[in-house]
Protein backbone atom coordinates (compact mmCIF):
# COMPACT_ATOMS: atom_id res chain seq x y z
CA UNK A 1 0.00 0.00 0.00
CA UNK A 2 1.36 3.41 -0.89
CA UNK A 3 2.04 5.94 1.82
CA UNK A 4 -0.39 8.73 2.02
CA UNK A 5 0.89 12.15 1.25
CA UNK A 6 0.52 14.31 4.34
CA UNK A 7 -0.60 17.18 2.12
CA UNK A 8 -3.55 15.09 0.81
CA UNK A 9 -5.55 16.05 3.90
CA UNK A 10 -5.63 19.67 2.76
CA UNK A 11 -7.71 20.84 -0.22
CA UNK A 12 -5.13 23.42 -1.07
CA UNK A 13 -1.39 23.17 -0.88
CA UNK A 14 0.19 26.58 -0.23
CA UNK A 15 3.80 27.48 -0.75
CA UNK A 16 4.77 30.61 1.11
CA UNK A 17 7.37 32.83 -0.57
CA UNK A 18 9.07 35.83 0.95
CA UNK A 19 7.13 39.06 0.43
CA UNK A 20 8.80 41.88 -1.56
CA UNK A 21 10.34 44.59 0.51
CA UNK A 22 8.64 47.94 -0.30
CA UNK A 23 11.89 49.92 -0.23
CA UNK A 24 13.49 47.44 -2.60
CA UNK A 25 10.68 47.89 -5.17
CA UNK A 26 10.98 51.65 -4.98
CA UNK A 27 14.74 51.44 -5.48
CA UNK A 28 14.30 49.27 -8.57
CA UNK A 29 11.70 51.67 -10.02
CA UNK A 30 14.02 54.60 -9.35
CA UNK A 31 16.89 52.81 -11.08
CA UNK A 32 14.72 52.14 -14.13
CA UNK A 33 13.69 55.82 -14.23
CA UNK A 34 17.30 56.99 -14.03
CA UNK A 35 18.30 54.52 -16.77
CA UNK A 36 15.48 55.82 -18.99
CA UNK A 37 16.61 59.40 -18.43
CA UNK A 38 20.20 58.55 -19.32
CA UNK A 39 19.04 56.81 -22.51
CA UNK A 40 16.95 59.86 -23.47
CA UNK A 41 19.91 62.15 -22.78
CA UNK A 42 22.18 60.01 -24.94
CA UNK A 43 19.67 60.09 -27.82
CA UNK A 44 19.46 63.89 -27.55
CA UNK A 45 23.26 64.20 -27.56
CA UNK A 46 23.55 61.93 -30.61
CA UNK A 47 20.97 64.05 -32.48
CA UNK A 48 22.65 67.33 -31.51
CA UNK A 49 26.24 66.17 -32.04
CA UNK A 50 26.46 66.96 -35.77
CA UNK A 51 25.41 70.60 -35.36
CA UNK A 52 27.62 70.96 -32.26
CA UNK A 53 30.52 69.65 -34.34
CA UNK A 54 29.78 72.20 -37.06
CA UNK A 55 29.73 75.01 -34.50
CA UNK A 56 33.01 73.79 -33.04
CA UNK A 57 34.69 73.51 -36.44
CA UNK A 58 33.40 76.87 -37.61
CA UNK A 59 33.90 78.96 -34.49
CA UNK A 60 36.53 77.25 -32.34
CA UNK A 61 38.99 75.49 -34.62
CA UNK A 62 39.05 78.31 -37.19
CA UNK A 63 41.91 77.14 -39.42
CA UNK A 64 44.32 79.88 -40.47
CA UNK A 65 43.14 82.05 -37.58
CA UNK A 66 40.27 83.35 -39.68
CA UNK A 67 37.45 85.52 -38.38
CA UNK A 68 33.83 85.00 -39.33
CA UNK A 69 32.03 87.90 -40.94
CA UNK A 70 28.57 87.15 -39.55
CA UNK A 71 27.69 87.60 -35.87
CA UNK A 72 27.04 84.46 -33.82
CA UNK A 73 23.65 84.81 -32.12
CA UNK A 74 23.87 84.06 -28.40
CA UNK A 75 22.05 82.78 -26.45
CA UNK A 76 20.29 80.33 -28.71
CA UNK A 77 16.95 81.50 -30.09
CA UNK A 78 14.95 78.49 -31.37
CA UNK A 79 12.34 78.80 -34.09
CA UNK A 80 9.17 80.00 -32.34
CA UNK A 81 5.98 77.99 -32.08
CA UNK A 82 4.25 80.46 -34.40
CA UNK A 83 1.85 79.76 -37.25
CA UNK A 84 2.28 81.82 -40.42
CA UNK A 85 0.57 81.78 -43.80
CA UNK A 86 1.98 80.95 -47.23
CA UNK A 87 1.12 83.06 -50.26
CA UNK A 88 -1.54 80.53 -51.27
CA UNK A 89 -3.22 80.79 -47.87
CA UNK A 90 -1.95 77.61 -46.20
CA UNK A 91 -1.04 77.64 -42.51
CA UNK A 92 2.50 76.62 -41.58
CA UNK A 93 4.23 76.48 -38.21
CA UNK A 94 7.73 77.95 -38.34
CA UNK A 95 9.01 74.98 -36.35
CA UNK A 96 8.11 72.72 -39.27
CA UNK A 97 11.05 74.31 -41.15
CA UNK A 98 13.52 72.50 -38.88
CA UNK A 99 15.74 69.82 -40.36
CA UNK A 100 17.42 72.04 -42.95
CA UNK A 101 19.74 75.05 -42.94
CA UNK A 102 17.65 78.20 -43.46
CA UNK A 103 18.80 81.47 -45.07
CA UNK A 104 16.26 84.09 -44.01
CA UNK A 105 15.27 87.68 -44.69
CA UNK A 106 12.42 89.86 -43.41
CA UNK A 107 10.48 92.60 -45.20
CA UNK A 108 7.06 93.98 -45.92
CA UNK A 109 5.18 92.65 -48.94
CA UNK A 110 5.49 95.96 -50.82
CA UNK A 111 9.24 95.14 -51.08
CA UNK A 112 10.91 98.40 -52.07
CA UNK A 113 14.13 98.59 -54.08
CA UNK A 114 16.27 97.80 -51.04
CA UNK A 115 14.15 94.73 -50.26
CA UNK A 116 14.35 93.60 -53.89
CA UNK A 117 18.14 93.92 -53.82
CA UNK A 118 18.31 91.89 -50.61
CA UNK A 119 16.14 89.09 -52.06
CA UNK A 120 18.32 89.05 -55.17
CA UNK A 121 21.43 88.86 -52.97
CA UNK A 122 19.91 85.99 -50.98
CA UNK A 123 19.22 84.08 -54.16
CA UNK A 124 22.70 84.72 -55.60
CA UNK A 125 24.49 83.75 -52.38
CA UNK A 126 22.54 80.49 -52.29
CA UNK A 127 23.20 79.81 -55.97
CA UNK A 128 26.90 80.46 -55.42
CA UNK A 129 27.05 77.33 -53.25
CA UNK A 130 26.69 75.22 -56.39
CA UNK A 131 25.77 71.62 -55.68
CA UNK A 132 25.55 72.43 -51.97
CA UNK A 133 22.72 74.95 -52.42
CA UNK A 134 20.00 72.35 -51.80
CA UNK A 135 21.19 72.11 -48.21
CA UNK A 136 20.25 75.76 -47.63
CA UNK A 137 16.60 76.84 -47.92
CA UNK A 138 15.91 80.40 -49.07
CA UNK A 139 13.20 81.87 -46.80
CA UNK A 140 11.44 85.24 -46.99
CA UNK A 141 9.33 86.19 -43.95
CA UNK A 142 6.73 88.85 -44.80
CA UNK A 143 5.78 90.94 -41.78
CA UNK A 144 2.45 92.36 -43.01
CA UNK A 145 -0.69 91.39 -44.91
CA UNK A 146 -0.17 93.48 -48.02
CA UNK A 147 -0.20 91.75 -51.44
CA UNK A 148 3.09 90.81 -53.09
CA UNK A 149 3.65 92.47 -56.45
CA UNK A 150 2.85 90.12 -59.34
CA UNK A 151 6.12 91.05 -61.03
CA UNK A 152 8.06 89.70 -58.06
CA UNK A 153 6.42 86.26 -57.92
CA UNK A 154 8.41 84.56 -60.73
CA UNK A 155 11.68 85.40 -58.94
CA UNK A 156 10.39 83.69 -55.77
CA UNK A 157 9.74 80.26 -57.29
CA UNK A 158 12.66 78.72 -55.36
CA UNK A 159 11.90 80.58 -52.11
CA UNK A 160 9.79 79.63 -49.10
CA UNK A 161 7.60 82.69 -48.47
CA UNK A 162 5.62 82.93 -45.21
CA UNK A 163 3.64 85.77 -43.67
CA UNK A 164 4.39 86.14 -39.96
CA UNK A 165 3.24 88.97 -37.73
CA UNK A 166 5.78 91.67 -36.99
CA UNK A 167 5.23 91.15 -33.25
CA UNK A 168 6.13 87.46 -33.48
CA UNK A 169 9.23 88.19 -35.56
CA UNK A 170 10.38 90.90 -33.15
CA UNK A 171 10.04 88.46 -30.25
CA UNK A 172 12.33 85.97 -32.00
CA UNK A 173 14.84 87.75 -34.24
CA UNK A 174 17.26 90.33 -32.94
CA UNK A 175 18.74 93.15 -35.00
CA UNK A 176 22.02 94.96 -34.53
CA UNK A 177 21.62 98.06 -32.39
CA UNK A 178 20.41 100.94 -34.52
CA UNK A 179 19.19 98.61 -37.31
CA UNK A 180 15.85 97.07 -38.24
CA UNK A 181 15.10 93.35 -38.54
CA UNK A 182 14.72 93.82 -42.28
CA UNK A 183 18.29 95.13 -42.62
CA UNK A 184 19.84 91.71 -41.99
CA UNK A 185 20.16 88.25 -43.48
CA UNK A 186 19.96 85.37 -40.98
CA UNK A 187 21.04 81.71 -40.82
CA UNK A 188 19.12 79.07 -38.83
CA UNK A 189 20.70 75.66 -38.19
CA UNK A 190 18.91 72.31 -38.81
CA UNK A 191 18.07 71.94 -35.12
CA UNK A 192 16.04 75.14 -35.49
CA UNK A 193 18.25 77.65 -33.67
CA UNK A 194 18.94 81.11 -35.02
CA UNK A 195 22.69 80.85 -35.48
CA UNK A 196 24.12 83.70 -37.51
CA UNK A 197 23.23 87.28 -38.42
CA UNK A 198 24.95 89.13 -41.22
CA UNK A 199 25.64 92.88 -40.97
CA UNK A 200 22.96 95.25 -42.27
CA UNK A 201 22.72 96.38 -45.88
CA UNK A 202 25.48 94.26 -47.40
CA UNK A 203 27.58 95.90 -50.10
CA UNK A 204 29.44 93.83 -52.74
CA UNK A 205 32.47 93.40 -50.47
CA UNK A 206 30.25 92.32 -47.59
CA UNK A 207 28.43 89.89 -49.87
CA UNK A 208 31.74 88.18 -50.73
CA UNK A 209 32.53 87.83 -47.02
CA UNK A 210 29.05 86.45 -46.37
CA UNK A 211 29.62 83.91 -49.15
CA UNK A 212 32.86 82.77 -47.48
CA UNK A 213 30.97 82.28 -44.22
CA UNK A 214 28.29 80.18 -45.94
CA UNK A 215 30.95 78.14 -47.78
CA UNK A 216 32.77 77.40 -44.53
CA UNK A 217 29.58 76.53 -42.72
CA UNK A 218 28.48 74.10 -45.43
CA UNK A 219 31.95 72.51 -45.52
CA UNK A 220 31.98 72.14 -41.73
CA UNK A 221 28.65 70.32 -41.85
CA UNK A 222 29.31 68.33 -45.04
CA UNK A 223 30.28 65.11 -43.27
CA UNK A 224 26.80 64.65 -41.77
CA UNK A 225 24.34 67.08 -43.36
CA UNK A 226 22.40 66.05 -46.48
CA UNK A 227 19.96 67.98 -48.63
CA UNK A 228 16.30 67.77 -47.59
CA UNK A 229 14.59 67.24 -44.27
The pLDDT assigned to 218 comes to 87
- The predicted-structure confidence for 145-168, as pLDDT tens digits, reads as follows 999 999 999 999 999 999 999 999
CA 174, 179, 182, 183 dihedral sign is negative
pTM, two decimals, is 0.72
The yes-or-no verdict on residue 188 having pLDDT over 80 is yes
The pLDDT assigned to 40 comes to 67
Cα gap 71→63, rounded to integer Å: 18
Within 12-170, strands assigned E span 71-78, 83-86, 91-93, 101-107, 136-142, 160-163
Strands 101-107 and 185-188: antiparallel
Cα gap 148→126, rounded to integer Å: 22
- The predicted-structure confidence for 118-148, as pLDDT tens digits, reads as follows 999 999 999 999 989 999 999 999 999 999 9
- The predicted-structure confidence for 55-108, as pLDDT tens digits, reads as follows 544 444 444 445 689 999 988 899 999 999 999 999 999 999 999 999 999 999
80 phi, psi to nearest 5 deg: -75, 155
Taking alpha carbons only, the member of 171, 165, 206, 164 closest to residue 185 is 206
Amino acid sequence: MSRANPNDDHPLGLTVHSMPVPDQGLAQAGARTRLGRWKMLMVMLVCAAPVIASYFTYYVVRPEGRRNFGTLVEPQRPLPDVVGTTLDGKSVNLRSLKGQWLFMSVAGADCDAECGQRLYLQRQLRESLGKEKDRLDWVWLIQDNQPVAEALLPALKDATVIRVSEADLSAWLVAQEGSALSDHLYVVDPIGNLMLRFPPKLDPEGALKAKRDLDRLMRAAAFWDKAGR
